A and B are shown apart, each in its own frame.
Chain A
Amino acid sequence: MEKTNTENNQTNLIEVKEEKSNLLSSSLINSITTNFGDQVKLVYKKENRSKIMVSPENLVETALYLRNNHGFDHAESASGTDYPADNQIEINYHLGSYSNTDYYPYILVLSTRVDRTDPKSNSLINIFPSVEYHERETYEMLGVFFLGHPRNERFILPEDWADMPPLRKDFRIKGR
């Protein structure tokens, strides 16, 4: 008897949790879309994860809004993905929150796409100081120049590295 009770409780708890996360993410997405309208495009919404796509001009504005109104205070990572077919590079910021307990399990992916031939994007270093090394790594590995970042320079690769950024898709590694 007791066992079944606890099981029920557990399933209830899980349902409550899921409902809560759903509510949270839909309220978050709603507030973003009401504020920004067509400027922000929702890419996917999963449990505790969602991804929004903004244009490079609106990146700073959106990030500022997310930090001030929803408590996203740090970025877990900033990375880039190369799409040579679209001639674009996608920059992803995985934003998380330590100050808002409701958003502890939540990761919001803020992404933008820049032109591949001359990739330039606004740096978020003034909004999230935690992206400093991640952006520097992205500059090095994908060649994206971050406007406003104090040090767009060599970080991890050898000092005499003279080849193209290695994470570009057309950078061939030996034997492949």
Chain B
Amino acid sequence: MIKDLVNPTNFNLLVSNIGDVLVKALDAPLGYVINWGRVWSLWPVHLETACCSVEFGAVSSPRYDAERFGILEAFGSLRQCDLIVVQGTVTRKMAPRLRMVYDQMPEPKYVIAMGACAITGGLYLDSYNVLPGIDSIVPVDVYVPGCPPRPETLIQGTMLLQEKIKRSKVK
């Protein structure tokens, strides 16, 4: 009996079975904890693409104070960031830079398209230098409409994103 157990193949099987059971048991609570951590520490990149940055500044201002939701603009490296708020128009000159910034960020990463220009191109439907929305270069999680959106709308958008993160499955 004991000999059978000590037999390496059987032992490995047992350990792996226990491991599977443990992973299954801990998956939900651990995922919940990890997601909870992600929800309350969204660090946006400091990349301003256009004029919506004014209202993004207002979101961090004392009146709206986005730090209540854990959104603290990181002045450090891109490697620490997990959220990119595309603040308005993306021109043809800015588009490669936006993609470069997105590629440098570690997984998991989320994108909020802020303003009409980032969603569909907005006013610049016939401009020669503006992308018709950022869907073609980065995947978007939440759309925040307005030109520029009110700070409340952006906060509502980030709350939607937090809801999305809570429900997502941890890999």
Counting contact residues on chain A (CB < 8 A from B), the size range is 10 to 19
With a cutoff of 8 Å between Cβ atoms, the chain A residues found around residue B125 in the complex are 175
Question: A158: CB under 8 A from chain B?
Answer: yes
Assess whether B158 is interfacial by the CB under 8 Å rule. no
Is the C-beta of A3 less than 8 angstroms from some C-beta in chain B?
no
**Does B91 touch A at the CB level, under 8 Å?**
yes
Whether the pair A175, B92 counts as a contact (CB closer than 8 A) is no
Shortest distance between the CB of B129 and any CB in chain A (Å): 7
Contact A158 B126 (CB under 8 A): no
B1-33 interface bits toward A, Cβ cutoff 8 Å, 1 = contact, 0 = none: 000000000000000000000000000000000
* Residue-wise interface mask of B (132-148) relative to A, using a CB-CB cutoff of 8 A (1 in contact, 0 not): 00000000000000000
A158 touching B128, Cβ below 8 Å: no
Contact A175 B126 (CB under 8 A): yes
From B93, which residue of chain A is reached at the shortest CB distance?
Answer: A158
Residue numbers in A under 8 Å from B77 (CB-CB):
none
On chain B, the residues within 8 Å of A174 by CB distance are 126, 128
A129 contacts chain B at the CB level, 8 A cutoff: no
Which chain B residues lie closer than 8 Å to A159 at the CB level? Answer: 93
A-contact 0/1 string along B97-128, CB 8 Å cutoff? 00000000000000000000000000001111
The contact size tier of chain B is under 10
| Cβ < 8 Å to B, chain A residues 153-170 | 157-159, 163, 166
Q: Which residues of A contact B126 (CB under 8 A)?
A: 173-176
A173 lies within 8 A of B93 (CB): no
Report Cα–Cα, A171/B129, bound state, in Å: 13
> Please, how many angstroms separate the alpha-carbon atoms of A158 and B129 in the complex?
8
Inter-chain CA distance A163–B92, complex, in Å, is 13
Determine if A158 and B91 form an interchain contact, defined as CB atoms under 8 angstroms apart: yes
Nearest Cβ on chain B to A19's Cβ, whole angstroms: 44
Question: What sequence of 0s and 1s flags, for each residue 132-166 of chain A, a beta carbon within 8 Å of any chain B beta carbon?
Answer: 00000000000000000000000001110001001
Q: How far is the CA of A143 from the CA of B125 in the complex (A)?
A: 25
Q: How far is the CA of A163 from the CA of B128 in the complex (A)?
A: 10
Q: Cβ of A166: which chain B residues have Cβ within 8 Å of it? A: 128
In the complex, which residues of chain A have a beta carbon less than 8 angstroms from the beta carbon of B129? 157-158
Look across to chain B and name the residue whose beta carbon is closest to the beta carbon of A166: B128
Let me know if B92 and A158 touch, CB within 8 A.
yes
| Cβ of A2 to closest chain B Cβ, rounded Å | 46
18 contacts between A and B (CB under 8 A): A157-B93, A157-B129, A158-B91, A158-B92, A158-B93, A158-B129, A159-B93, A163-B128, A166-B128, A171-B128, A173-B126, A173-B127, A173-B128, A174-B126, A174-B128, A175-B125, A175-B126, A176-B126
Q: Which residues of B contact A (CB under 8 A)?
A: 91-93, 125-129
Give the 6 A-B CB pairs with smallest separation, nearest first.
A158-B93, A158-B92, A173-B126, A175-B126, A174-B126, A173-B128
